[in-house]
Amino acid sequence: MRKWIGIIGALALVGIVVATLVYFFVINKSHPDYENKKPEYFMTAEALFASFREDAAKASEFYNGKIIQVSGQLSSVEDTDGQTVLVFALDQGMFGDEGIRVSMLEAQSAQAVKLTPGQDITLKGFCTGYNDTDVVLNHGSIVQ
C-alpha cells in the first residue's frame, strides 16, 4: 500500500513539474529579446529593398520573421504617438518616400530621436514584410 502511495505521489510530482515547465516555457513563454538577438542576415538597406522590389514573394520567404541588420544613410526620423521610426528612403512612389522603415524598440527611442538625417547608421530589426511601398522592420535597435 505504502509503495503505491509512493508511486502515485512521485507521478503527481512529475506531473506538476511538467505542467509548470509547459506553462512557463510553452504557454506563457516570453517574447524574444530582440535587442540582444543575433541577426540572421547582414546587408545594406539598398540590397534589402532591392530584393523585395525584384521578387517580393521570394524575399518574403527569406526575410520575413527574421532579424536583419541593415546599414545605410539615414533619411529621416519620425516620432509620432510615442513611436520612433527610422527611415531609409530609397525611392519615390505615389505616396512619397519608399524604402526601409525601422520601428524602434521603446528602450531605443531616446537614442534614436537624437540621430540626424544624412548620417550613416547600422540598425537591426525583425522583418515583418513588404507592403508594396516599404520593407518594415519592427523592434529595431541601433547597432552603431
* Nearest Cα to Cα of residue 85 among 139, 6, 27, 18: 139
**Min. distance of Cβ 2 from other proteins in angstroms?**
38
Residue whose CB is less far from other proteins, 71 or 103: 103
Q: CB-wise, 16 or 106, nearer to other proteins? A: 106
To the nearest whole angstrom, how small is the minimum distance from the Cβ of residue 29 to other proteins? 5
In the chain, where does DSSP find H-type helix? 2-22, 45-54, 56-63, 109-112
Distance CA 39, CA 90 (A): 22
- Residues of this chain that bind other proteins (CB under 8 A): 26-32, 60-61, 64-65, 78, 80-81, 83, 85, 92, 95-96, 101, 103, 127-134, 136, 138
- Alpha-carbon gap, residue 105 to 136, rounded angstroms: 13
Residue 31 beta carbon to other proteins: minimum distance, rounded to whole angstroms: 5
